[in-house]
Each structure stands twice: as C-alpha cells, then as structure tokens.
C-alpha cells in the first residue's frame, strides 16, 4: 500500500495535473477579481451585480483556457528539449548495435530472478527473440532498453534508457528523418524545376534564333 502511494506521489503526471489545476484556479480568481474591480471603478454605483458576475465568469473561464493552453505548450517544449538532449545517446545506441561487434540492443521484460542467478528476461530489439540475460550493475526497471557488448567476461553495459525516454527519442528520430527526407526531396524538386526552366529557356532561344534565320532568308 505504501509502495503504491509512493509511486503515485512520484508520478510526473500527477504533479503536472496539480500544477495545471493550481494555475487555472489562480488565473480564474485573479481574472474575476480584476474584472469586477475594473467594472465597478468605471461604472461606479450603476452596476448590475448579475452582469458583473456573468462578465467576470466568462473572462475567468477564458483565462483558465489560456492558462492551460500555455502550460501544455510549455510542457511540450520542455519535453521536446529533454528528448533532443538525449537523442545523440539514442542514435549512438542504435548505431553501435548495428555496427559494433557483439553489441546488442535489448529491452528488459522482467525483474531479476534470484532463483535464476539474477537473470532477467530480455527481448532483442533487432530480431525480436527473447532469452534470459544477466546484466552487471544496478537493477534496471522493466521496459528499459539497454545497449551492451558481449565479452568473454560477460555482458558489458554501454548505455541504457527508460522505456518512456526510448519511445520519445524514437519518435523524435523518426520526425528528424522525415524532415530531412522531405528537405532533400524538396531540394531535388527545386533542382529539377530549375533545370527544366534552363532547358525551356535554351529551347526558346534556339527557336527564336531559327525564326530569325527564316525571316532573314525570306527577306532575301
């Protein structure tokens, strides 16, 4: 029970939700108070409380929506900045697993089994196979992706990432590759269009020269 409660309190989503509710509540209260104060200051005693309440509530709800949108945008920017910071490690892990000798990428599927000598069940991310694996060092969480090299003394961990960070980096790498591919394709299209324009210009020049020759021949 205490472990579950501790896990909930450590949840990033929980604290993000608490922060959003707090900011939205403050934005609503401040907007309502400021709107009411401004209307009373402008109209003086000729104030309809119902109209003031309706206007203040409407503006307060707009302020809540704006505050939530701003927080979501800021959270997304911070998250993307964090992912970009770890993207070189992700690319190095993928590159090493594809090129370095006896180097593998595996995802941890289970906790270490004391009865099996501390082995974990791991899935090879290149061929999809699963097998028991012993990894030195601290215990890694389930879902973590580890890059390791198989040596005569046993596996040597090169780097590892949590499952959440790995998926985020994979999506970011895919977006970067897609943008790069689109940029290359756009540059190639621009090059072809420029070449076609040069060909059409040269053809027009040749046609104009031929027409001029025919005109001179007709005058003779």
> Does position 90 have pLDDT exceeding 60, yes or no?
yes
What percent of the chain has a predicted confidence (pLDDT) above 70? 87
> Does position 174 have pLDDT exceeding 80, yes or no?
yes
**Confidence grade of residue 116 (pLDDT, cut at 50, 70, 90):** low
Residue 45 pLDDT: 63
Residue 145 pLDDT: 92
Taking each helix axis from N to C end, the angle separating 12-43 and 49-99, rounded to the nearest 10 degrees, works out to: 150
Alpha carbon distance 122, 132 (integer Å): 6
Q: Which residue has the higher pLDDT, 17 or 99?
A: 99
- Residue limits of CATH 2.40.50 in the chain: 100-161
**3-state secondary structure labels for all residues of 3-49:** HHHHHHHCCHHHHHHHHHHHHHHHHHHHHHHHHHHHHHHHHCCCCCH
Choosing among 2.60.40, 2.40.50, 2.60.120, 1.10.287, the CATH entry for 100-161 is: 2.40.50
Q: How large is the average pLDDT for residues 32-44?
A: 76
Residue 219 pLDDT: 62
């Amino acid at each position: 029970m205490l472990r579950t409660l501790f896990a909930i309190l450590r949840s990033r989503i929980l604290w993000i939700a608490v922060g959003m509710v707090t900011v939205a509540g403050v934005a609503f209260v401040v907007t309502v108070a400021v709107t009411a104060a401004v209307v009373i200051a402008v109209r003086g005693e000729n104030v309809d409380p119902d109209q003031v309440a309706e206007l203040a509530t409407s503006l307060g709800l707009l302020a809540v929506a704006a505050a939530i949108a701003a927080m979501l945008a800021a959270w997304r920017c911070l998250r993307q900045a964090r992912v970009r910071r770890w993207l070189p490690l992700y690319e190095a892990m993928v590159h090493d697993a594809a090129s370095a000798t006896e180097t593998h990428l595996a995802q941890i599927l289970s906790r270490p089994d004391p009865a099996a000598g501390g082995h974990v069940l791991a899935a090879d991310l290149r061929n999809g196979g699963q097998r028991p694996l012993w990894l030195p060092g601290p215990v890694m969480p389930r879902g973590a992706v580890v890059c390791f090299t198989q040596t005569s003394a046993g596996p040597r961990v090169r780097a590892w990432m949590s499952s959440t960070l790995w998926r985020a980096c994979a999506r970011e790498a895919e977006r970067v590759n897609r943008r790069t591919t689109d940029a290359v394709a756009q540059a190639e299209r621009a090059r072809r269009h420029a070449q076609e324009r040069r060909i059409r210009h040269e053809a027009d020049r040749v046609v104009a020269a031929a027409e001029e020759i025919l005109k001179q021949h007709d005058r003779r």
